[in-house]
Amino acid sequence: MLSKKNKEILLGPLSKNNPVIVQILGICSALAVTAKLEPALVMAVSVTAVVAFANVIISLLRNTIPNSIRIIVQLVVVAALVIIVDQVLKAYMYQVSKQLSVFVGLIITNCILMGRLEAFALSHKPWESFLDGIGNGVGYGIILVIVAFFRELLGSGTLFGYQVIPQQMYDWGYQNNGLMILPPMALITVACIIWVHRSRNKDLQQ
Amino acid sequence: MENLNLFVKSIFIDNMIFAYFLGMCSYLAVSKNVKTAFGLGIAVTFVLAITLPVNYLLETYVLKAGALKWLGPEYAQLDLSFLSLIMFIAIIASMVQLVEMFVEKYSPSLYASLGIFLPLIAVNCAILGGSLFMQQRNFPSVGSATVYGIGSGIGWLLAIVCLAAIREKLSYSNIPAPLRGIGITFIITGLMGIAFMSFLGIKL
């Protein structure tokens, strides 16, 4: 079930081969939805589901897809899955879906998807592709959650909408850093993560 | 006047890169020298300028709730908006194919230097993002949709050319090893984003 090779496929993308900070894929949504923890988590789960199932579907179809039209086929499969996710979010989590706005639709053009489909699913069996999809989705999710954690904690003093910085701190003169909520700080937070990650993994440095 | 306002706003304030982070993948990957960056920027602007009006017409006359009224009263209740994602991406993919053939014929050198990134414009978030924002904002006419498309394209072009110019200079500087390459690029983009925030509130 989980041989050594499969474990590698599943766990590799978590750190050594992380889609966001090592392969630099799927940056757009990773930055845009991370002002708060809740939408970031929902986004991470949605992307994981879409990558995993798109990988399985493309992997099942891999021998029947003509090479010249594979991009269109991949786009259609992904678009269909994203429409399902979009409708589910609208039905059950309307508030979050409003916050994510266009970024749910933009999962279609998330580079992680096309990257994994092209590089992995087209040449591997369904079960391995499924693990690869889960691994990459979770690797993407980890970065999202880390960025959102710092931005929400420092920017609004809350986590998942609950106040975590006690009122006493504010009485002593602590202020929320409003800059953390603004878009540019997302980039700088990711840059810090890359910095820490690369100084721990010397072989990734240029 | 309103369109001019929209144009300026979509370039500077609602900048695709600095306000919404759309199209970051190719923005980070193709910004190593100014010439290639400029070529890609032009291609993105061109695709945005074509796809937005087409998608606007599609949205208004086919997909929106009640948009099929012109076919007859019995179609008036149809709401096909759940199909919009797949329709938009189909339009975009075919337009990109068109641009690719065009560039290959008229500018082989640009075609060679853009390489894989030309077909990947189809999965550039900025293009689909433009269409989705257009859908969200309910533009009054096809004209303002086109203006919005051209404006956001130029905003993207501006951002990528600036970054490429900075990165060209940066290759001579001494950066801490873990930040070299992609890390410093993120920080620069963040700082440029802060600079662009000073345009906030401009109204013509």
- DSSP-assigned letters across all residues of B103-163: HHHH-HHHHHHHGGGTGGGGG-HHHHHHHHHHHHHT-SSHHHHHHHHHHHHHHHHHHHHHH
How confident is residue B108, by pLDDT bands cut at 50, 70 and 90? confident
Contact between B151 and B5 under an 8 Å Cβ cutoff? The reply is no
Residue with token string 């873990």: B178
How close does chain A come to B98, measured CA to CA in Å? 14
Average pLDDT over residues B162-187: 86
Contact yes or no for B21 and A32 at CB 8 A: yes
Average pLDDT over residues A133-154: 89
**Structural element, H or E, at residue A159:** strand A158-159
Residue with token string 């077909």: B119
Q: Is the pLDDT of residue B154 over 90?
A: yes
Average pLDDT over residues B159-182: 86
Q: Is the pLDDT of residue B172 over 80?
A: yes
Q: Given CB atoms, is A82 within the 8 Å cutoff of chain B?
A: yes
Cβ contacts below 8 Å, chain A against chain B, sum to: 133
Per-residue confidence (pLDDT) for residue B71, from 0 to 100: 76
Inter-CA distances, B133 with B22, B159, B176, Å: 11, 19, 39
Contacts of A203 (CB under 8 A, 6+ apart): none
**β partners of residue A162:** A159
Q: What value of ipTM does the predicted structure carry?
A: 0.81
Per-residue confidence (pLDDT) for residue B83, from 0 to 100: 82
Q: Is the pLDDT of residue B186 over 70?
A: yes
Contact between B50 and B122 under an 8 Å Cβ cutoff? The reply is no
Q: Is the pLDDT of residue A46 over 70?
A: yes
Centroid of chain to Cα B177:
32
How close does chain B come to A4, measured CA to CA in Å? 30
Contact between A177 and B156 under an 8 Å Cβ cutoff? The reply is no
Per-residue confidence (pLDDT) for residue B151, from 0 to 100: 92
**What is the distance between the alpha carbons of residues A75 and B32, in angstroms, rounded to a whole number?**
28
How confident is residue A206, by pLDDT bands cut at 50, 70 and 90? low
Contact yes or no for A205 and B180 at CB 8 A: yes
How close does chain A come to B129, measured CA to CA in Å? 7
Per-residue confidence (pLDDT) for residue B204, from 0 to 100: 67
Q: Out of A24, A79, A199, whose CB is closest to B182? A: A24
Contacts of B175 (CB under 8 A, 6+ apart): B184
How confident is residue A2, by pLDDT bands cut at 50, 70 and 90? low
Per-residue confidence (pLDDT) for residue A26, from 0 to 100: 78
In terms of CA atoms, which chain A residue is nearest residue B132?
A: A102
The 3-state DSSP class for residue B190 equals: helix
Spell out which residues of chain B touch residue A26, defining contact as CB-CB under 8 Å: 25
Task: Name the most confidently modeled range: A10-14, B100-104, B149-153.
Answer: B149-153
pLDDT over 70, % of chain B: 95
How close does chain A come to B136, measured CA to CA in Å? 8
Per-residue confidence (pLDDT) for residue B150, from 0 to 100: 92
pLDDT over 90, % of chain A: 4
Per-residue confidence (pLDDT) for residue A114, from 0 to 100: 81
How confident is residue B95, by pLDDT bands cut at 50, 70 and 90? confident
Per-residue confidence (pLDDT) for residue B107, from 0 to 100: 80
Residue with token string 């975009």: B92
How confident is residue B115, by pLDDT bands cut at 50, 70 and 90? low
pLDDT digits (tens, 9 = 90+) for A153-166: 888 888 887 888 78
Per-residue confidence (pLDDT) for residue B161, from 0 to 100: 92
Which of B182, B191, B197, B200 to probe the A interface (max A CBs under 10 A)?
B182
A111-119 vs A70-92: helix axis angle to the nearest 10? 140
Per-residue confidence (pLDDT) for residue B129, from 0 to 100: 85
In terms of CA atoms, which chain A residue is nearest residue B195?
A: A184
pLDDT digits (tens, 9 = 90+) for A186-198: 888 888 888 888 8
Upper half-sphere CA count for residue A125 (Cβ side, 13 Å): 4
Average pLDDT over residues B1-8: 84
Q: Is the pLDDT of residue B189 over 70?
A: yes
**β partners of residue A158:** A163
Per-residue confidence (pLDDT) for residue A61, from 0 to 100: 87
In terms of CA atoms, which chain A residue is nearest residue B84?
A: A83
**What is the distance between the alpha carbons of residues A205 and A197, in angstroms, rounded to a whole number?**
10
Q: Given CB atoms, is A99 within the 8 Å cutoff of chain B?
A: no
Contact between B8 and B204 under an 8 Å Cβ cutoff? The reply is yes
Q: Out of B19, B22, B183, whose CB is closest to A194? A: B183
How confident is residue A96, by pLDDT bands cut at 50, 70 and 90? confident
In terms of CA atoms, which chain A residue is nearest residue B181?
A: A206
